[in-house]
Every structure is written in structure tokens, then in C-alpha cells.
Amino acid sequence: MPKNNGRSPVNKSSLIEELNSLKREDEMLHNILAIDIWALAKTMDEYQPGFWALFMKNRERALKRFLDEMIKSKPLDVKRPPFLR
């Protein structure tokens, strides 16, 4: 195995194990956030019926506005074909 600038050689199996651990932790965090968002939406819908539907409509509008702004501010690269601009 190649050395890292004078450091000890990289242990491939420990690196793969560390990456797998990070992937599991990321997935766990994603699941926790999903549960938190579901709980918030469920609670808000109980206090204000239609909250989640309105929230999603506003989110869709905001996303469209963001994408429009990104497209407007994107520099044109004339070297790229039109379908990739």
C-alpha cells in the first residue's frame, strides 16, 4: 500500500469500516430529522388544520423562485452545448 507523505500506511479495511460507520450515522440522523419533521407537522395540523398543505405550497413556490434566481445568475459558458447550459 502507498504511504501518506511519511505517515503510516492506510489500513484499507479500517478505512472501509470507518466509511460504513459514517454512512450508518448519516442515515440515522436523516431518520431522526424525518421523525422530528413529521411530529412537527402532525402537531401543527392539530392546532391549525391545513398547515402542512400550506407549508408545502409555500415551499414549492420558494424552490421555484430559488431555481429561477440560480438560472438567472448562472454564467453562460459558450463552450458548452446548449442542452448543458
pTM listed for this prediction? 0.51
Residue 41 near residue 52 (C-beta atoms within 8 A): yes
* Nearest residue to 41 via CA among 28, 30, 27, 56: 56
Rounded Cα distance between 15 and 25, Å, is 15
Q: Which three cell numbers stand for residue 63?
A: 424552490
Q: Which three cell numbers stand for residue 12?
A: 484499507
pLDDT per position as a tens digit, 39-52: 998 999 899 999 88
pLDDT per position as a tens digit, 2-39: 545 556 667 888 999 999 999 999 999 999 999 999 99
Torsion of CA 49, 54, 56, 59, to 10 degrees: -140
